[in-house]
Every structure is written in C-alpha cells, then in structure tokens.
C-alpha cells in the first residue's frame, strides 16, 4: 500500500503531463489486478423514490426543486424489480432514494429488504443488498441491518468541513455525516463513501485531503464522480471553479484511490459515464471494479436527475463495454470488498 503526501497528490492532479497520467493508470491497473483481479461486479440500482427532505445546493432532488415530479415506487414494484434483476444474473442490488427518515418509510424499506432476502435466498445465498438512503438514526441503520442489508453508501461529498457547509444549508452538518458513517461501521455494514469532483469552490488540495480521509476512515467502498451542474439548483450559479479538467481529474482521483487503497471496491460512477463517452472504460482502467446499472423503471428515470443529462446504458451494453475494455463482467457473485473482511479480522484480534 502506497502513501502519498498532500503535495505529491496535488502535483499529480494538476499535472498536464501525459506521462504522469499514464504512470498513474498503469500502476492503478496493476494494483487492481493484483488485489481485485479483472472482475467487474454489478449492483443493480433501484432508485425507488425521489422524495427528499434535504436541500443540498448541488442536487436536482433537493426539497426546494419544484420542477420535478416526485414519485415513490410501491413495495410490490420494488420487490419485483429486485427479483427480475436476480433472474437476470445480478447478485447484488442497491436501493437508493432521497432522504426520508420517518419511521413509516424505514419500516417499509426494512420490510422490503427482508422480503427480497427471503425470496432471493431460496436460490443460494440470495441478493446482496446495499442501501443509499442518506442520514438516518443509529436505530434505523440497525433496523435495516437486522432486516438483511449489509452495505451502505453515504458520501461525505467533501472532507473539508468549511466547504461542506458552503454546499449544504445550515441544518445539514459535516459532523452529523461523520456520526452516521461511524454508526454504520459500528453496526457492521460494509461502508462506502465518496465525494463529488470539481464543484465550485473545491481545490486540488481538497481532493488530496479527500483521498487521505478515505484512508483514515478505513472505508470498504468508494464512489466518486465528477460534479455535473443541474440547472435548477443554487450551485448552478456559482462560478468559482478551480479544477480545470473535471473528467481527467476524476480519472486521476480513481487511479490514486486504487493505488492508495488496493483492496476496496470502487465504482465507475454514472456521472463519470455521463460526461464522457469513454467514461466507463477509463474508469475501469483507473481501477474501478463495480458498475451500477440503473434498473429504475423508464417512467420514473427522468425524475431521478441528480444532475443534467444523466446517462443510462443497458445491462448488455455495459457487459460488452466491460469486455471490450479487457475486464470480466462477473455475474452471480457478491464481489464484496476484501478490505471489509480484513478489518473485521483485525478488529476481532484486537478485542
């Protein structure tokens, strides 16, 4: 495992030298192959609701965006999407929504999770379930864990607390986000976090600290993607951009993350695929080993626009593209992050 100093990371990120770019990608691919092989695992993404109580300045789902039609799939629809995914070879799904922390909502999700586990468990180990529902209470995370979810994604968005506050309203806090990540870890989830890359006000130094933050927090999964402006949110009017090549910087961030954290799972995000035709291929070459095809029904997809021009690729196309990039689309396997098991073993030894 390699450590880089902050200045070294900043130099790499700022560099326009193709040799540096090549060096990072080559090293990341080698580390990935040694630690995670050529396999690319799928998480079928079911965006079951766009209702959100939060008001993040960058996100199209924010509470005050009145231009989108709000939807919530009913339990039968979510369960049938999950089971259809399972029949098509998915071994994991991710349930994602805007943040709604009422007990009614969490009871519903917990029941859905338990039902999917039971139905899919009839064939082998069943579907792995990742959740991405935002900030909830410790008890709610525990309830969802007890129902059978075992991975959770909660992006920190930026590890700089001052910058965090600039892109969120006062009632949302950095410390609360950290508490949630800690709670998830304590309960036993495989924990994923991540940041947006290239939003107004963010510097190369901030990105270097983000990578160090992921290492320090000992995370199991990473989801980073370029920031893409949404026309109807406050951050769209902000022009203080310090990062010049958002796509190239995102690729280098992935490569550095893979080099610094060889055994984690890392996604080639939809945002990365949305801003560049070769986003998927480049993301994989930079060390990503997870892809999250969108399984949300077509009728709802245009209402889950976190940012403008969100891309959707069919499962078959994704599999072909993964093969064409030289990797192995891997069905019927959970593909958990070995990092998680390693840290659990170490924790057990220390107790």
Look at residue 135 and give its three-state secondary structure.
coil
Closest approach of ligand 5AD to the CB of residue 293, in Å: 16
Closest approach of ligand 5AD to the CB of residue 193, in Å: 9
Interface map 64-93 toward ligand 5AD (x if CB under 6 A): ------------------------------
User: Residues near 115 by Cβ (< 8 Å), separated by ≥ 6?
Assistant: 75, 79
Closest approach of ligand 5AD to the CB of residue 98, in Å: 9
Told to check if 306 binds ligand 5AD by CB under 6 A, we report yes
Query: Residues 8-11: contacts with CB within 8 Å, 24+ apart?
Result: 9/207, 9/208, 9/211, 9/212, 9/256, 10/204, 10/205, 10/207, 10/208
CB closer to ligand 5AD out of 86 and 306: 306
Closest approach of ligand 5AD to the CB of residue 56, in Å: 7
Give the span between the Cα atoms of 263 and 345, in whole angstroms. 15
CB closer to ligand 5AD out of 192 and 329: 192
Told to check if 157 binds ligand 5AD by CB under 6 A, we report yes
CB-based contact 233:65 (threshold 8 Å): yes
Tell me the two tokens of residue 279: 């986003």
CB-based contact 253:227 (threshold 8 Å): no
Q: How far is CA 11 from CA 8, 194, 249, in A?
A: 5, 21, 11
Told to check if 152 binds ligand 5AD by CB under 6 A, we report no
Told to check if 58 binds ligand 5AD by CB under 6 A, we report yes
From the list 271, 284, 294, 295, which residue makes contact with ligand 5AD (rule: CB under 6 A)? 271
Give the Cβ contact number of residue 30 at 10 Å.
14
Give the span between the Cα atoms of 134 and 165, in whole angstroms. 17
Told to check if 98 binds ligand 5AD by CB under 6 A, we report no
Please count the residues of this chain forming the interface with ligand 5AD, following the rule CB under 6 A.
Answer: 12
CB closer to ligand 5AD out of 45 and 115: 45
Closest approach of ligand 5AD to the CB of residue 87, in Å: 27
CB closest to ligand 5AD, residue no: 307
Told to check if 196 binds ligand 5AD by CB under 6 A, we report yes
Interface map 231-270 toward ligand 5AD (x if CB under 6 A): ----------------------------------------
Of 42-50, 206-214, 221-229, 331-339, the segment contacting ligand 5AD by CB under 6 A is 221-229
Told to check if 225 binds ligand 5AD by CB under 6 A, we report yes
3-state helix, strand, coil in the chain (%, to 5): 45, 15, 40
From the list 230, 276, 310, 343, which residue makes contact with ligand 5AD (rule: CB under 6 A)? 230
Residue 10, phi then psi, degrees to nearest 5: -60, -45
Give the span between the Cα atoms of 108 and 190, in whole angstroms. 22
Based on C-alpha coordinates, what's the Rg of the chain? 19
Told to check if 141 binds ligand 5AD by CB under 6 A, we report no
Q: How far is CA 272 from CA 14, 63, 248, in A?
A: 19, 25, 10
* Residues making contact with ligand 5AD (CB under 6 A): 58-59, 155, 157, 196, 225, 227-228, 230, 271, 306-307
């Amino acid at each position: 495992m390699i450590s880089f100093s902050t200045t070294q990371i900043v130099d790499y990120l700022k560099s326009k030298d193709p040799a540096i770019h090549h060096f990072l990608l080559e090293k990341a691919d080698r580390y990935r192959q040694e630690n995670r092989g050529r396999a690319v695992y799928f998480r079928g993404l079911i965006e079951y609701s766009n209702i959100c109580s939060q008001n993040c300045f960058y996100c199209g789902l924010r509470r005050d965006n009145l231009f989108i039609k709000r939807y919530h799939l009913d339990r039968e629809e979510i369960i049938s999407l999950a089971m259809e995914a399972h029949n098509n070879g998915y071994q994991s799904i991710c349930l994602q929504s805007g943040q709604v922390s009422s007990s009614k909502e969490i009871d519903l999700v917990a029941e859905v999770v338990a039902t999917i586990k039971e139905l899919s468990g009839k064939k082998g180990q069943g579907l792995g379930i990742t959740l991405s529902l935002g900030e909830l209470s410790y008890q709610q995370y525990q309830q969802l864990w007890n129902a059978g979810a075992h991975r959770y994604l909660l992006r920190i968005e930026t590890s700089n607390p001052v910058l965090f506050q600039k892109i969120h309203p006062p009632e949302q806090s950095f410390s609360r986000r950290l508490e949630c990540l800690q709670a998830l870890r304590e309960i036993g989830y495989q924990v994923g976090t991540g940041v947006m890359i290239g939003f107004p006000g963010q510097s190369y130094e901030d990105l270097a600290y983000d990578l160090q933050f992921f290492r320090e927090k000992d995370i199991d999964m990473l989801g980073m993607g370029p920031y893409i402006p949404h026309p109807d949110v406050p951050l769209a009017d902000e022009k203080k951009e310090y990062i010049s090549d958002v796509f190239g910087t995102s690729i280098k961030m992935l490569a550095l993350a893979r080099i610094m954290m060889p055994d984690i799972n890392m996604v080639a995000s939809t945002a990365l695929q949305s801003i560049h035709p070769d986003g998927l291929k480049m993301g994989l070459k930079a060390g990503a080993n997870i892809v999250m095809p969108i399984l949300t029904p077509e009728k709802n997809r245009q209402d889950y626009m976190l940012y403008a021009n969100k891309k959707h690729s069919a499962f078959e196309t994704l599999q072909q593209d993964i093969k064409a990039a030289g990797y192995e689309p891997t069905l019927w396997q959970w593909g958990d992050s070995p990092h998680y098991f390693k840290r659990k073993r170490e924790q057990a030894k220390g107790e």
